[in-house]
Structure 1
Amino acid sequence: MATSIVRQSLFRAVAKPSMLRASAPGLMLAQRRFVQTESMTPAENISYLNSQRQHRPNSPHATIYQPQLTWYLSILNRITGVALSGPLYVAAMAYLLHPVIPAIDSAHLISIVQDLPTWLKGSIKLALAVPFTFHSFNGLRHLGWDVGKALTIKGVYTTGYAVLAATAVSSIYLAFFV
């Protein structure tokens, strides 16, 4: 009896006729909706969403920002990762095809490379050395960041230029002196 009196007085204190309504006596109060909805078919829903997307403003694009070293090194790290993994997968698949195509083995590949002109061998080695050394040195840079080293703006730029210098020197050495 006492709980029903408390409920009624709480209902009178909280409920305002314009904002709240009771769905049934003694149940929780629900807020009245001021937005009217209509049901749509899935096709209508998709066309409505597409029309909304056409009028949505574009977010700022990369062309309005000043290019920075960090952008270029991040993009190059991703590109060199793909450039290294692509030939690795192709070479692995070629060796898997060795039973079908017996000419794909180490001895034949070495004789093919041996017959190439020196300038072409150096160019191929340089094309392989640049992504390998850059990705390796930039990976070491990221490992340094993981342990909390060189995280200031000056440190990020210093290590970025160090990665580029180490890539240039080691790539030239690997391509033409090894």
Structure 2
Amino acid sequence: MRPGVRLAVDVGSVRVGLAACDPAGVIASPVRTLVRDPGHDADVAEIAAEARARGAVEIVLGLPLSLDGSEGPAALRALDYADKIVRSVPEVPVRLVDERLSTVGAHRALHAAGLKEKQFRAVVDQAAAVVLLQATLDAERTGHAPGRVVAGPKGRRKARHRGQGGTGTEQQADAGGRARPHATEGKG
């Protein structure tokens, strides 16, 4: 597993939850909740500042796939958000990771901690980011970095897919983020 801090982002229509891990990449912890600012992208600027301040080696962004694994409207909004982050902090890779059940897991954890539904709103996005990041860290420790890395503006995304031997093939993705084979091979 690569060492270094990762910042996780759980983006919703109203709030954005942030979580980060320790430099060893062992434990994910909540950071804060931002208010979405679609008109001016102040939330994106805050994510970029947080990533730089922590010296993040990667930003993990939840990709809300449909239960059948397809990319619906929510996933397309997340892909657009990923593009904004890439433009704001191009030196830090952004990894899109399936977050289908992260909010459900966050709700369960908060309920188990004794919080009432009304208290969830302030922290559920952070908790979902923690669930997302911890699952990503755990998967990476087994030798499989989940999801795909966004490497450029919409329409020029590149995804890394790992094979069993630890190498990956680089793929070009279309504007919807769906991977298309690319001619070059790379290390995973």
TM-score by length of 1: 0.25
**Higher Cα Rg, which structure:** 1
Pick the structure with more strand per residue: 2
Pick the structure with more helix per residue: 1
TM-score by length of 2: 0.24
